[in-house]
Amino acid sequence: MENEKIKVVELKNITKIFGRIVANKDVNLDLYKGEILSVLGENGSGKTTAMNILSGIYAQDEGSIYMNGEPVSINSPHDALVLGIGMVHQHFKLVDVFTAAENVLVGLSKKDYINIVNKGNKNLSGFNVKEVAKSIETMCDKYGFVLDPNKKVYNMTVGEKQTLEIIKALYRNADILILDEPTAVLTPQETEHLFNVIRNMRKDGKSIVIITHKLNEVIEISDRVAIFRKGHHIATVDTDKTTIKELTDMMVGERLNLEIDRTEPKDAEDRLIVKNLFVKNNDGRVVVNDVSFVAKSGEILGIAGISGNGQKELLEAIQGLRTIEAGDVILRNPKENRPATFFHKTLRRIKELGAKGAFHDPEGNPINFKGMKNREIIDMVNEEKVLFNEDEIIPLKGKNPLQIRELGVRLSFVPEDRLGMGLVGNMNLVDNVMLRSYRHGHWIFLDREKPKNLAERIIDELKVATPNAYTNVSKLSGGNVQKVLVGREIALAPKVFMAAYPVRGLDINSSYLIYNLLEKQKREGIAVIYVGEDLDVLLALCDRIVVLCDGEISGIVNAREVTKEQIGEMMTRKQEVQL
Span 34-70, pLDDT tens digits: 999 999 987 778 898 999 999 999 999 999 999 999 9
Higher pLDDT residue, 134 or 505? 134
Model pLDDT, residue 411: 67
Model pLDDT, residue 484: 84
Read off the pLDDT band of 93 (50, 70, 90). confident
Number of Cβ atoms within 10 Å of the Cβ of 332: 21
Residue in 103, 120, 74, 122 with CA at minimum distance from that of residue 171? 103
- Each residue's pLDDT tens digit, 274-302: 999 999 988 888 999 999 999 999 999 99
The β-bridge partners of 274 are 293, 329
**In Å, how far are 31, 401, 414 from 91, measured between CA atoms?**
24, 30, 16
What proportion of the chain, given as a percentage, has pLDDT over 70? 91
Segment 26-35 mean pLDDT: 96
Model pLDDT, residue 439: 52
Amino acid found at 337: N
Give the torsion sign (CA, 197, 201, 202, 206): negative
- Radius of gyration of the chain from Cα atoms? 27
Q: Kindly tell me if the per-residue pLDDT of 189 is higher than 90.
A: no
Model pLDDT, residue 191: 87
**In Å, how far are 24, 44, 252 from 16, measured between CA atoms?**
5, 13, 21
Q: Kindly tell me if the per-residue pLDDT of 441 is higher than 90.
A: no
Q: How far apart are CA 523 and CA 545, in angstroms?
A: 18
Q: Kindly tell me if the per-residue pLDDT of 32 is higher than 60.
A: yes
**Pairing mode, strands 207-211 and 176-180:** parallel
| Alpha helices for 263-411 (secondary structure H) | 311-319, 347-355, 374-382, 401-406
Q: Kindly tell me if the per-residue pLDDT of 444 is higher than 90.
A: no
Residue in 507, 515, 488 with CA at minimum distance from that of residue 411? 488
Contact in structure between 449 and 470 (CB atoms under 8 Å)? no
Residue in 41, 139, 158, 69 with CA at minimum distance from that of residue 533? 158
Q: What is the pTM of this model?
A: 0.71
Q: How far apart are CA 244 and CA 219, in angstroms?
A: 8
Q: How far apart are CA 19 and CA 79, in angstroms?
A: 25
Residue in 177, 171, 235 with CA at minimum distance from that of residue 208? 177
- Each residue's pLDDT tens digit, 193-230: 999 999 999 999 999 999 987 888 899 999 999 999 88
Contact in structure between 178 and 86 (CB atoms under 8 Å)? yes
Segment 570-577 mean pLDDT: 66
**In Å, how far are 26, 226, 503 from 231, measured between CA atoms?**
9, 13, 22
Model pLDDT, residue 446: 59
What proportion of the chain, given as a percentage, has pLDDT over 90? 51
Number of Cβ atoms within 10 Å of the Cβ of 563: 12
Amino acid found at 482: Q
- Three-state SS at 3: coil
Q: How far apart are CA 281 and CA 284, in angstroms?
A: 5
Residue in 270, 219, 276 with CA at minimum distance from that of residue 245? 219
Higher pLDDT residue, 438 or 30? 30
Read off the pLDDT band of 3 (50, 70, 90). very low
Average pLDDT, the chain: 87
**In Å, how far are 420, 476, 563 from 414, measured between CA atoms?**
9, 15, 27
Contact in structure between 550 and 572 (CB atoms under 8 Å)? no
Read off the pLDDT band of 374 (50, 70, 90). very high
Model pLDDT, residue 203: 95
Q: How far apart are CA 27 and CA 29, in angstroms?
A: 6
| Alpha helices for 144-222 (secondary structure H) | 158-171, 188-203, 215-221
Q: How far is CA 239 from the centre of its chain?
A: 26
- Each residue's pLDDT tens digit, 393-432: 889 999 998 888 878 787 665 544 455 556 787 889 888 8
Segment 295-322 mean pLDDT: 91
Q: b/e map of 56-79 (b: 16 or more CB within 10 Å)?
A: bbbebeebebebeeeeeebeebee
- Three-state SS at 297: coil
Read off the pLDDT band of 443 (50, 70, 90). very low
Q: What is the dihedral of CA 250, 253, 254, 259, to 10 degrees?
A: -50
Higher pLDDT residue, 187 or 174? 174
- Three-state SS at 300: strand
- Each residue's pLDDT tens digit, 525-566: 999 999 988 888 999 999 999 999 989 999 999 999 999 889
Q: Any residues with CB less than 8 A from the CB of 503 and at least 6 apart, and which? A: 414, 482, 510, 511, 514, 515, 532, 537
Model pLDDT, residue 578: 45
**Pairing mode, strands 387-388 and 359-360:** antiparallel
Contact in structure between 351 and 377 (CB atoms under 8 Å)? yes
- Each residue's pLDDT tens digit, 226-242: 999 889 999 999 999 99
